[in-house]
Amino acid sequence: MLFILFIRGVTLPGAADGILYYVYPDFSRLADSKVWMDAGTQIFFSYAICTSTIVAMGSYNRFHHNCYRDCLILCSVNSLTSFFAGFVIFSVLGFMAHEQGVDVRDLALDGPGLTFIVYPKAIAQMPLAPLWAILFFAMLVVLGIDSEFVGVEGFVTAISDIYPKLRQKYIRESFIAAVCFSYFLIGLLMVTNGGMFVFQLFDNYSASGATLLWFCFFECVAVAYVYGADRFYDDIEKMLGYRINPWCKWCWKYISPVVCAGIFFFSLATWAPMEYSDINYVFPAWSEGLGKVFLPYHSFVLYPRFSMSSGWMMALASMLCVPGYILIKLFTTKGSLKERLVFLARPQYNDRHLRRQRTATDHVT
């Protein structure tokens, strides 16, 4: 589908301008924290990092499965596909800019606008446009359901590991049905009159941006400094039969946590109210914190300064789980403060954890 859209896109007038705008670098944008946040969010979503899905899916592999090879293939295919999709999008953006007589940068389309404006615009220029439109949106539905499968599986697997009784037959199915129904109810908020505002809130403050950077930092610290980067490195050698590039170990210990922490704090220092660019709507901070359900459409609204307060409550609902659990364990463990820190920072490790692998019957969804 992307290849067909690419062929049609590059034949449209103005496509070359859009492609040149896509491939021409603007190094001044590297000083913008939002660029780093958007790039980090895209990478986290593309590879499902810190969302439990990779861990959940990987737990069904054989112990000696070559996960290192899978990682290299996945990263290469994903990045190349995203790069190729950029040519498809910007060839059509160049055509749209040519039609409107404006520069490509002035179109200001992002998020859902790319899916529901740019791609349909390309499809409308094709022969048998209704047929291609049906195929395109059917593809979107299939891709969405496929992503939802692994998202639900990651959550269900994590909860089932904590409460093993949920793995029993019929109980697991009932639990999955309850999770899916809960997702459905939350999704209904996004098809109301103010649904796009709700979608933007979830897109910016739930499992994205700073939230994922926060979790990635703590995961790197847990693996590299609590469990031990060398021990984790040796475990991978036991699985694969050879030692992987030591660059991975340096990333776990130094590069990844420093980059995640740097982008996170830089984004805090340059924080600004969220905007919905399609109608120039600026979100008040209280709505960013508590979320909105039904919002009328306004062109521009000014709110009192006191409302510009806790804009991250939606994100903090999950972010505080990590330091909160650390504090709970720290206060409930016996011994002096030093003894508690040493005990809690000691990994629970033995060969049984390495030998353990899930059976096919565990995988229901």
Instruction: Write out the binding residues for Na(+).
Output: 46, 78, 143, 146-147
Return the structure tokens found at 104: 């490509």
339-345-351 Cα angle (round to 5): 120
DSSP code at position 294 = S
CA atoms within 13 A on the CB side of 54: 14
Which residues sit in the known binding site? 46, 78, 143, 146-147
Residues 6+ apart with CB under 8 A from 208: 41, 44, 45
In angstroms, rounded to a whole number, what is the distance separating the alpha carbons of residues 188 and 296? Answer: 17
Beta bridge partners of 275: 282
Q: What is the dihedral sign for C-alpha 24, 27, 32, 34?
A: positive
Quickly list DSSP for 297-312: --S-----GGGSS-TT
In angstroms, rounded to a whole number, what is the distance separating the alpha carbons of residues 303 and 314? Answer: 20
Quickly list DSSP for 158-217: HHHHHSGGGGSTTHHHHHHHHHHHHHHHHHHGGGSTTHHHHHHHHHHHSSSTHHHHHHHH
